[in-house]
């Protein structure tokens, strides 16, 4: 008798559980004001599977692309495509046309499915997800027998945002999604459970939707989808109207939503946790949400890390973790090489699509970090964003986090600018709350908090901080805009 299990970690048994154990759970599309039970959702997914195979000829291994908001139809495709053995390719609707054309060609997509509101901007030949699609799905027979799929078969394909060069493809397998989803239910990781109603404000086309399309159903957590509107007023309304207990977004969303929640017009008493990633959050923002009774958790990850790899939760003997990125999650390995964090593990990418694998399976993150003996760490900066002044390194991330607490600063970025004497010096690019923010004000505010030689030499006021397609500060654009500057 064999002592080794041959059980395959695919999404199929997770899907089967939806209609049985979690059948009365809800999926709510707040954008289109539709709600279905998990049992109804599962039955519709089976019909979508039939449409994909019988009407569009989708076969195992085919790449099926989506061009969509956070919607019920998009979530259905998250499940239907891998269940028939194909690969879900979530296209980033915010990328430039040239990048999208490159990605579609590189992925060799066999089918593109576009949300009706986005049809005019979709790549050529896309099938529109509209009322005609819905009728087609409603009239299809539910697929009962899925084609056999091994656990190492690709389930998803997502391209990086491409801030340096063209985007790179990251493939995730059934096994990787299964293990990542299970890890998200661990108490000291994301801690999702059947008692949660989750609102992923992060786009489902970015970094596999931070894993929520699989992690929530895996744990039984209900899902709320916000559609195309991620404005502060709409986020606050959805949090209250749908009694959301757990929400996920980048810091910008939470900063913009804070004043709306402070007005007290929306009852967010159900909201227990917000999970935040994409960039570091200022301590003042974290404390502000905790004053509202919400546990504000910082996490870290990348498309390449499947995506969530850390969560900053209190540790034994360490209650204050607000300044940390977190602890590398159980099951993953980490090391620091010349200050750069490298990781590997069962849900970490081992290489980019159609490229050579990473050396030894170690993913180079390009994040510069500092570790504590107990495993807690903080990201100092991205390797390319550190400011080297007089041979010493200045963390732009730390300066940004501090500067966001300035009462007159709405948003900011810090970049290095050429200096005749020091090689580089930091310049603060700020969006003021009202009027101007002077260099004297910035230096006075930061003076007690950092070394004197860290203080920015100049402030540039702008109407908006350039952001990437996934909401991160686009420092490449900022550096290009400031390329004419040269400091003493």
User: How many structural domains are present in the chain?
Assistant: 2
188 with 315, same domain: the answer is yes
- Please enumerate in sequence order all residues whose Cβ is within 8 A of that of 222, keeping only pairs 6 or more positions apart, or say none: 25, 26, 27, 28, 196, 197, 198, 216
Q: Domain containing 428 — which CATH number?
A: 3.30.300.30
DSSP 380: E
297/306 Cα distance (integer angstroms): 18
149 in a structural domain: yes
What are the strands, taking DSSP E only, across 40-115? 63-67, 87-90, 111-115
pLDDT score of 444: 96
122 with 173, same domain: the answer is yes
318 with 413, same domain: the answer is no
pLDDT score of 1: 47
pLDDT score of 280: 80
392 in a structural domain: yes
31 in a structural domain: yes
Q: Which helix (H) or strand (E) holds 298?
A: strand 295-301
Q: What is the 3-state secondary structure (H, E, C) of 117-174?
A: HHHHHCCCCCEEECHHHHHHHHCCCCCCCCCCCCCCCEEEEEECCCCCCCCCEEEEEH
163 with 307, same domain: the answer is yes
306/215 Cα distance (integer angstroms): 12
457/91 Cα distance (integer angstroms): 40
Active site residues: 160, 304, 388, 393
Residue 427 belongs to domain spanning: 386-481
409 in a structural domain: yes
pLDDT score of 4: 61
pTM for the predicted model, two decimal places? 0.86
Give the end of a domain, one of 379, 396, 420. Answer: 379
For the chain of 488 residues, list the mean pLDDT of each consecutive stretch of 10: 74 95 97 96 98 98 97 98 98 88 96 96 95 97 96 96 74 98 95 98 94 98 97 97 97 92 96 91 92 96 94 93 93 94 96 95 93 92 84 86 91 92 92 91 93 92 87 88 91
Q: Which helix (H) or strand (E) holds 254?
A: helix 251-262
Sign of CA dihedral 185, 67, 72, 76: negative
Give the end of a domain, one of 348, 379, 410. Answer: 379
Query: Tokens at residue 210, please?
Result: 């931070």
248 with 213, same domain: the answer is yes
Q: Domain containing 217 — which CATH number?
A: 3.40.50.12780
Give the end of a domain, one of 354, 379, 404. Answer: 379
244 with 349, same domain: the answer is yes
357 with 430, same domain: the answer is no
367 with 443, same domain: the answer is no
2 in a structural domain: no
- Using only the alpha carbons of the chain, give its radius of gyration: 23
């Amino acid at each position: 008798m064999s002592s080794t299990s041959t059980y395959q970690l695919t999404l199929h048994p997770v899907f089967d559980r939806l209609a049985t154990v979690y059948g009365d759970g809800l999926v709510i599309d707040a954008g289109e004001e539709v709600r279905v039970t998990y049992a109804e959702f599962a039955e519709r997914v089976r019909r979508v599977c039939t449409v994909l195979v019988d009407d569009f000829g989708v076969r195992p291994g085919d790449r099926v692309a989506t061009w969509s908001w956070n919607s019920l139809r998009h979530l259905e495709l998250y499940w239907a495509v891998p269940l028939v053995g194909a690969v879900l390719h979530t296209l980033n609707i915010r990328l430039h046309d040239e990048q999208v054309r490159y990605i579609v060609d590189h992925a060799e997509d066999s089918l593109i499915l576009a949300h009706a509101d986005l049809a005019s901007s979709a790549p050529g030949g896309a099938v529109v997800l509209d009322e005609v699609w819905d009728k087609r799905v409603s009239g299809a027979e539910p697929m009962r027998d899925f084609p056999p799929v091994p656990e190492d078969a690709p389930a998803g394909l997502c391209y990086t945002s491409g801030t340096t060069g063209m985007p790179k493809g990251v493939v995730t397998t059934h096994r990787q999604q299964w293990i990542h989803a299970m890890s998200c239910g661990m108490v000291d990781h994301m801690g999702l459970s059947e008692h949660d109603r989750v609102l992923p404000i992060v786009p489902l086309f970015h970094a596999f939707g931070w894993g929520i399309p699989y992690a929530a159903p895996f744990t039984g957590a209900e899902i709320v989808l916000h559609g195309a509107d991620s404005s502060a007023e709409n986020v606050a309304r959805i949090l209250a109207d749908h009694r959301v207990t757990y929400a996920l977004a980048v810091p910008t969303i939470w900063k913009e939503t804070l004043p709306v929640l402070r007005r007290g017009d929306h009852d967010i008493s159900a909201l227990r946790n917000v999970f935040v990633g994409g960039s570091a959050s200022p301590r003042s923002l974290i404390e502000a949400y905790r004053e509202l009774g919400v546990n504000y958790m910082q996490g870290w990850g990348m498309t390449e890390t499947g995506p969530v790899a850390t969560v900053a939760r209190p540790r034994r003997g360490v209650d204050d973790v607000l300044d940390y990125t977190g602890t590398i999650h159980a099951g993953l390995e980490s090391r620091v090489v010349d200050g750069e964090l490298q990781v590997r593990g069962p849900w970490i990418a081992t290489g980019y699509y159609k490229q050579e694998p990473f050396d030894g399976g170690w993913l180079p993150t390009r994040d510069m970090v500092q570790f504590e003996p107990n495993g807690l760490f903080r990201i100092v900066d991205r390797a390319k964003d550190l400011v080297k002044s007089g041979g010493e390194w200045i963390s732009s991330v730390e300066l940004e986090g501090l500067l966001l607490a300035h009462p007159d600063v709405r948003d900011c970025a810090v970049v290095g600018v050429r200096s005749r004497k020091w090689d580089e010096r930091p310049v603060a690019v700020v969006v003021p709350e009202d009027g101007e923010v002077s260099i004297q004000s910035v230096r006075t505010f930061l003076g007690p908090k950092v070394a004197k030689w860290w203080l920015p030499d100049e402030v540039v006021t702008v109407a908006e901080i350039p952001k990437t397609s996934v909401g991160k500060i686009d420092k490449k654009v900022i550096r290009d805009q400031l390329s004419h500057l040269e400091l003493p």
